[in-house]
Amino acid sequence: MVFRRERLAAPTLEAAQALLGALLVHDAEAGSDRRVGRIVEVEAYTGQDDRASHARFGRTARNAVMFGPPGIAYVYLVYGMYDCLNVVTEPDGRPGAVLVRAVEPLEGVEAMRAVRIARGRGAARIRGLPAHRLASGPGLVAAAFDLDRSDTGRDLCDPASPVRLEAAPQGEPVPSIVATARVGVHYATDPWRSVPWRFAIAGHLSVSGPRDRV
């Protein structure tokens, strides 16, 4: 069941929490199995008021998709090395996005491990990682699902898209959510630096860390 776009048209703080427990799916492609992960950690970034958001400069070539319709992928490169996946939120015309910081691998664990070895350094270390740590960080989610900036603009709410969001399975218990300050936004002024807009499933092993463990 695809993730309903109207849930992402909501205010970004609500959309972010709604994404916890949802599934990120990348269909099988040549040489790689289907990959599925449960979203366990996210961060909300809003419009021009939010001094930590990419939208703080207004509409630019990089962040333009944040100002468009909800449910679209926004992938950017940080620190010249790591791609990060965001889901665009808010109605068309208003900026907003949710950064997917960590997922729990459910299917295609070895495909995730293989692409992380191919893209990153430290193959020996990655080979020894337990499955629940293969996508526990924003740069690691994009690596495990083989996403980069060229995936910006993909419609994650289209059932035909090879990369998409699916609703949490029916009957799954509602996750217990913990909120903390966002990570890595020391450059922003208060209150934006410290608002509790990072959301995670309480105590989940796949939440990024160790410094951010909840």
Partner DNA sequence: GCAAAGATTTGCT
Partner DNA sequence: GCAAATCTTTGCC
- Rule CB under 7 A: say whether 213 interacts with DNA: no
The secondary structure of the chain in percent helix, strand, coil, rounded to multiples of 5, reads 25, 25, 50
| Given 170, 171, 187, 189, the residue binding DNA (CB under 7 A) | 187
Closest CA to 15 of 86, 117, 79, 121: 86
N-term to C-term CA, the chain:
30
- Rule CB under 7 A: say whether 138 interacts with DNA: yes
Q: How far apart are CA 104 and CA 134, in angstroms?
A: 8
DSSP state of 32: B
- Greatest distance between any 2 Cα atoms in the chain: 47
| Given 55, 111, 165, 207, the residue binding DNA (CB under 7 A) | 55
Backbone angles phi, psi at 157, to 5 degrees: -105, 5
| Given 60, 127, 176, 181, the residue binding DNA (CB under 7 A) | 60
HSE, side-chain direction, 13 A CA sphere, residue 152: 18
- Rule CB under 7 A: say whether 206 interacts with DNA: no
| Given 11, 91, 122, 169, the residue binding DNA (CB under 7 A) | 122
- Rule CB under 7 A: say whether 97 interacts with DNA: yes
- Rule CB under 7 A: say whether 1 interacts with DNA: no
Interaction mask 148-167, DNA, x per CB under 7 A: -x------------------
Interacting residue ranges for DNA, rule: CB under 7 A? 43, 45, 52-55, 57, 60-63, 66, 76-82, 84, 86, 97, 99, 120-122, 125-126, 137-140, 149, 182-187, 208
